[in-house]
Amino acid sequence: MAVREIDERTLDFILGASRSAHPNEFVGILRSERNKITEILILPGTHTSERSAFMNLYMLPLSSHACGSVHSHPSPHPIPSQTDLTFFDKFGEVHIVVASPYDADSWKAFDRRGKEVELKVVKSEEDSTSEDELRKKFWD
């Protein structure tokens, strides 16, 4: 099933993590349940700098429900670079690029060909993971 939605809290997490990483890039793997992105996975061996982010996809667990990637640009342009497009084409079906200032209007989603796609932001379900648990998952 095509990924068409993102949990509001997951998006908030992405924007917050991108803000904290500034001026470096934040990178992560998107995980989905059915057609909704619900979680971010940070891979061991991920290096970020002001110029680039590198993800060690060998570390990706096989059963990770990974559906794509997310990374931030310290610039105000959420437009994939040539390197981004090459990466998108290798892996996943949806890729989010967040740009400075990392607010609700400064991100875009793309398919593996680099074509912009619409992701609907949906309110978290009541019984979903608490913010503390999300934070714990991020740091574990």
Binding residues (CB under 5 A) for Zn ion: these are 81, 84
What is the rounded CA–CA span in Å between residue 25 and residue 49?
6
Minimum Å gap between C-beta 49 and Zn ion is 13
Least distance (Å) between residue 65 CB and Zn ion = 23
Give me the least distance between CB of 73 and Zn ion, in Å please: 5
As annotated, the active-site residues are 25
From residue 78, give the alpha-carbon distance in Å to each of 10, 63, 115, 123. Answer: 18, 29, 13, 23
Q: Tell me the closest approach of the beta carbon of residue 85 to Zn ion, in angstroms.
A: 9
Q: Which residue is closest to Zn ion by CB?
A: 84
List CB contacts of 19: < 8 A, sequence separation 6 or more: 101, 102
